[in-house]
Amino acid sequence: MGPIMLDVQGTSLSQEDKEIIQHPLVGGLIFFSRNYQSPSQISQLSQQIRNTAKKPLLIAVDHEGGRVQRFRQGFTLIPAMGALWHMSGENITLAQELAQQCAVLMALEVQAVGIDISFAPVLDINNISDVIGDRAFHQQPEYVAILAEAFITGLHSVGMKATGKHFPGHGSVKADSHIDLPIDERDRQEIFQQDLHPFKHLIKNGKLDALMPAHVIFPAVDKLAVGFSHYWLQTILREQLGFNGVIFSDDLSMQGAASVGGFVERVEAAQQAGCDMLLLCNNRAGCIEVLEHANIASSVASTRRLQTLLKANQEPATTWSTLNEHPRWQQADKILSSYHIK
């Protein structure tokens, strides 16, 4: 599988989209709200993409719930994960149940329209970052770990793999990496004891299938932003924490990625640091530049890891038209509806 994940322009494929999807370096595609009109339309687009690719292709979406949910009309409106703690009356057992059922419902609906994974859950701490905020489960790392584990249990129970983000934590720095390069000046001990806790817990328990690093610099640990840091991704994540899953870069079009140069330099640096798949979104000229000029390649190890995320390797997905007949969807729908989550 190619190491580039990119996007398409609209609700159907243009000729340029088709040519790009067929490029040997392209191994993934991510959907945004502009690609969506209805469940039937996005199902058709997913199938059109797979038919065009004529190769294994990982299709993803950011469908966390709350303000980060790309498909809305026709889909269940999943609450922000940070709302579950309050909805449960601060009852940890009930909050775990709600997290698990939200994951089941989300995963089944996303899979039913031909998508492999949603980039979830968020493992950041709801501390001072506005861009994270209620996307995070809680302000305490211990509760983030517990609730995220319940969410992942829900994903796994219906055949979707989990992607934790944004390693090692974006919640404790104010700047938004979409438009800035956040620098977290805290000492190493605080970062490892606080922000890293949910990641360490879930890796140790074998729950995380994939991770996405943050476009954040932690000077007390390394001078490079995490997604470009061999020390963070290889020494700490792979060697010290024992993580064997997929490493996705965060979107390399974001301003937080600009510290290493242009688009070609970004994808080369991210792959050299250890990212298995490189996201390049919302900049078609940048995508073309990378496909034509970047010195990157597919690797056997990355392909092997990426193939484990494909929906075809898991439980056969139901279609959208038969989704409400699925017993797990019915169960999750009933439980969440009782809490007015529908």
In the annotated binding site for substrate, the residues are 62, 70, 135, 165-166
Kindly report the number of other CB atoms within 10 A of residue 128's CB atom. 11
**CB-count exposure of residue 48 (10 Å: 0-12, 13-18, 19+):** middle
C-alpha pair distances (Å), 29 with each of 141, 218, 246:
31, 30, 15
State residue 279 phi and psi, 5-degree precision. Answer: -85, 130
E strand segments, the chain: 4-6, 26-31, 58-61, 63-65, 68-69, 117-118, 163-167, 210-213, 246-247, 278-279
Tokens of 62: 């950011």
**Residue 178 annotated as catalytic:** yes
> Which residues participate in the annotated binding site?
62, 70, 135, 165-166
How would you list the strands of the sheet with 278-279, edge to edge? Answer: 117-118, 58-61, 26-31, 4-6, 278-279
Contact 101, 335 (CB under 8 A): yes
Residues 97 and 335: their CA atoms lie apart, in Å, by: 9
Rg (Cα) of the chain, in Å, rounded?
A: 19
Catalytic residue among 116, 184, 209, 250: 250
Catalytic residue among 86, 178, 187, 293: 178
Residues 169 and 195: their CA atoms lie apart, in Å, by: 5
Angle CA 27–32–34, to nearest 5:
125
Residue in the structure block whose two tokens are 């999943």:
78
- What secondary structure letter does DSSP report for 88? T
**Residue 276 annotated as catalytic:** no
Residues 229 and 156: their CA atoms lie apart, in Å, by: 30
Residues annotated as catalytic are 178, 250
